Amino acid sequence: MAANVRKSIPHLMMLVYVVIILAPFLFILFSSFKSSNIEIAAHPFGLPDKWVFDNYKEAWVKAKINVYFFNSLYLAVSAAVVGVLMAAATSFALTRMKFKRTSAAIYQFVLIGMLIPGNVLFIAQYLLVTDLHILNTHWSLFLPYTAGALPFSVLLIAAFMRAIPNELEEAAIVDGMGVLRMFAQVILPLTVPALVTVFIVNFLGNWNEYLLSFFFISKDALRTLPTGMVQFRDAFQMNYALVCTGIVFSVVPVLVIYMFLQRKIIEGLTAGSVKG
């Protein structure tokens, strides 16, 4: 009996943790369908008396959530895709090509970027985008997003590539493949788990980024969702249902990605760490 109780304690603790995590989201979700602040205050965790779907239409169109949403979406996706390709090419050069002693030095130099907190670079980044005359454009976010993700991306992908047998490259060379074709047709397909993991991690980081987008973008039409939500909150702070609706729009994509791709994230991280 005592053994069964000890075994059930971790499950009970995990259940309590899940409830604590889900409670705020359920409050936001149910509140987004309610008709008034009075109803939200009276039954914060209860189901709506009447499901008001117009809240989502009003938030999506009138409050410009659609503009902020798609700005964040294409910036997060494009920066993550370019970052993955650049990291894969860098990892291939450092792990599969020989630079005598310099490849190891370059690899260590790239990883130094992981030791520098992103906020420390803010002033330098601001001065750089100002000198490049790209302030108040999406380029001012795309370039830092892409470059900032490279150290971790190279670390993970390089660890995965090191485990690929050299015999595959030798066979590709015998078949007459060049470096670019071997990279695209042999190495990249074998590195898909790491590539997917890096893409997801970078996408989520870009999607949730706030500091750079707040200071680098002042035009309302170019704002991303995190900074747009601040404007949305200030405009509708007395309408809690609409504020909750905006929060749902910002949270749901992240939950969907984790729900369907969490296994890919774990596989990529685990495989890379073991093989490296």
Q: Pseudo-torsion of CA 202, 145, 94, 155, nearest 10°?
A: -40
Terminal CA-CA length for the chain: 43
Cα–Cα distance for residue pair 258/200, rounded to 1 Å: 9
State the residue for tokens 């009996």.
1
Residue 187 domain flag: yes
pTM of the model: 0.82
Between vectors from CA 114 to CA 111 and to CA 218, what angle results, nearest 5°?
A: 125
Residue 142 domain flag: yes
Give the pLDDT confidence score for residue 271 in this predicted structure: 58
Phi, psi dihedrals of residue 138, rounded to the nearest 5°: -70, -20
Q: Which two tokens stand for residue 70?
A: 């798609």
Give the pLDDT confidence score for residue 86 in this predicted structure: 94
Residue 14 domain flag: no
Give the pLDDT confidence score for residue 72 in this predicted structure: 93
Asked if 153 and 162 touch (Cβ cutoff 8 Å), the reply is no
Give the pLDDT confidence score for residue 1 in this predicted structure: 56
Cα–Cα distance for residue pair 187/191, rounded to 1 Å: 6
Residue 34 domain flag: no
Cα–Cα distance for residue pair 242/261, rounded to 1 Å: 29
10 Å Cβ neighbour count for 272? 23
Tally of domains within the chain: 1
Residue 64 domain flag: yes
Cα–Cα distance for residue pair 92/22, rounded to 1 Å: 41
Cα–Cα distance for residue pair 103/97, rounded to 1 Å: 8
Q: What is the DSSP string of 22-50?
A: HHHHHHHHHHTT-S-HHHHHH-TTSPPSS
Q: Domain residues for 189?
A: 53-275
CATH of the domain at 70: 1.10.3720.10
Residue 179 domain flag: yes
Cα–Cα distance for residue pair 103/93, rounded to 1 Å: 8
Residue 75 domain flag: yes
Helices (H), the chain: 2-31, 37-42, 54-57, 65-96, 102-112, 122-131, 139-148, 150-161, 166-174, 179-182, 188-190, 192-208, 211-216, 225-235, 240-275
Mean pLDDT by 10 residues, the chain (276 residues): 71 86 86 85 83 85 85 93 94 80 80 81 90 93 93 89 83 82 87 87 90 91 88 72 85 79 67 48
Give the pLDDT confidence score for residue 269 in this predicted structure: 62
Residue 243 domain flag: yes
Give the pLDDT confidence score for residue 80 in this predicted structure: 94
Q: What is the DSSP string of 217-233?
A: ---GGG--HHHHHHHHH
Question: 12 to each of 3, 15, 22, 94, 225, how far by Cα in Å?
Answer: 14, 5, 15, 47, 36
